[in-house]
Amino acid sequence: MDVDSMRLLATAITIGVGVFAPAIAVGMIGASALGGIARNPEATSKIQTNMILAIAFAEALGIYALVIALILKFT
């Protein structure tokens, strides 16, 4: 295998693995928030605010993986 093939393989593995964990995290955050809202509807605004913040942090990890994958591909 040449260097370009290895670079593309590293890029594919990085983005594949780097997006898997945030996707699972977002699903778990959403499920937990819906469960909390179902148990205590009066706390919907607090739960929703915290859920959106947690999802933003989880998605940031996916964006970091994308940036690393792009660096691997173009350098």
Domains defined for the chain, CATH in brackets: 3-74 (1.20.20.10)
Query: For every one of its 75 residues, what pLDDT tens digit does the chain have, with 9 covering 90 and above?
Result: 788 899 999 899 989 988 998 999 999 999 999 999 999 999 999 999 999 999 999 999 999 999 998 998 888
What pLDDT score does 1 carry?
77
C-alpha 33/C-alpha 3 separation (Å) is 45
The pTM for the full model equals 0.78
* Residue 2 φ then ψ, to 5°: -90, 180
What pLDDT score does 72 carry?
87
C-alpha 40/C-alpha 48 separation (Å) is 12
C-alpha 16/C-alpha 34 separation (Å) is 28
Q: Please, which residues have CB within 8 angstroms of residue 72's CB and are 6 or more apart in sequence?
A: 7, 10, 11, 14
Neighbours of 36 (CB within 10 A): 17
